[in-house]
Amino acid sequence: MKEITFLKQNADKWQEFEGMMNKKSSASPDLMADLFIQLTDDLSYAKTNYPKSKTTQYLNSLAARVHQEIYKNKKEKKSRVITFWTHELPFIFKNSHKQLLYAFIIFIVAMLIGIVSAAYDDNFVRLILGDSYVNMTLDNIDKGEPMAVYQSMNQVNMFIGITVNNIYVSFMCFTFGILFSLGTAYLLFSNGLMLGAFQYFFYAKGLLLQSVLVIWIHGTLEISAIIISGCAGIVMGNSILFPGTYSRGVSFISGAKQGVKISIGLVPVFITAAFFEGFVTRYAHMPMWLSLSIILSSLSFIIWYFIVYPIRLNKKAEQLVKMDN
């Protein structure tokens, strides 16, 4: 690669790093460590290909500054837990919006296929959801309580069981990304297919609105978190497939760390979804305004925290960098 091409590809990133260094009091230790890994990899490439250039001298100087900063800030602040959710995770998400879009598209396409398949094949719903679940639900519909499944367990036991299951599904969606993103794509597709068949089943019974008002009380957060877990898996998988200027090993470590942080950040979302499913969804006859309020509030939170807020935070950081330069 020509030096001018190398500069064009990485100049904005280095400038952003410099801005972080000028605002070093706000940089987290983990962020500084990630920064150092990326810089040393760029420095190694520059030393190999442009050993006597000003680019190599610049990177050497910047990497030295970052290294010193890491050792100055070895002790993490007490606010580390807070800054993880207020700054670190949103910054990761700003750089992962493309992967989030991929995960969303895979899931929605699968859901549409599930709807169409269920509409044209009467046996498809049983194939996807299982005979026992379909028979139980049909029996509940005959009794006039189509959502009775959510009242069948003790609230606390249901909450704990769903929380564990949701975290397990999230973990699988992420870890399957190591199969070059294909494993994650498969899990997203299968979950989307299931949801499409599930919703069409209630539509065919004339219960679409009731099912949406009840199931999506917890489903808004739960399904969103599954898609975001898929994003984490694609981030890790793509770090293997597309390492860019980094070595494949360094790129994978960086992608895996980002994916782990996204997965950890989703735990409160899954716990909240499980709380809704265990303690709230069982009240199938709640007023429509209350059900819609919960659903729309959950959706607004997902859109704001995972899409809008990261963009705003990133723009603010870019403005600070420009002011420093």
3-state per-residue secondary structure call for 146-170: CCHHHHCCCHHHHHHHHHHHHHHHH
d(CA 231, CA 53): 38
Of 299, 103, 84, nearest to 189 by C-alpha is 103
* 221 plus 264 within the same structural domain: yes
In-domain check, residue 321: no
Say if residue 140 is in the same domain as residue 43.
Answer: no
Residue 72 is predicted with a pLDDT of 55
Q: Are 39 and 62 in contact (CB under 8 A)?
A: yes
Looking at the structure, tell me whether residues 24 and 160 fall in a common domain: no
Rounded-to-integer distance, Cα 95 and Cα 255, Å: 11
Task: Based on the fold, state whether residues 178 and 253 are members of the same structural domain.
Answer: yes
Residues 210, 68 share a domain: no
**Do 113 and 208 sit in the same domain of this protein?**
yes
Residues 45 and 132 in one domain: no
What range defines the domain where residue 14 resides? 3-76
Domain count along the chain: 2
User: Rounded to an integer, what distance in angstroms lies between the CA atom of residue 10 and that of residue 43?
Assistant: 11
So what's the pLDDT on residue 22?
A: 67
Q: Do 35 and 117 fall within a single domain?
A: no
Residues 60 and 110 in one domain: no
Residue 325 belongs to some domain of the structure: no
Mean pLDDT by 10 residues, the chain (325 residues): 78 76 60 69 77 77 67 55 86 90 98 97 94 93 86 82 89 94 96 96 94 93 96 94 81 89 92 91 86 96 96 78 54
- Dist CA 295 CA 207 (whole Å): 18
The predicted model scores a pTM of 0.78
Asked if 103 and 15 sit in the same domain, the reply is no
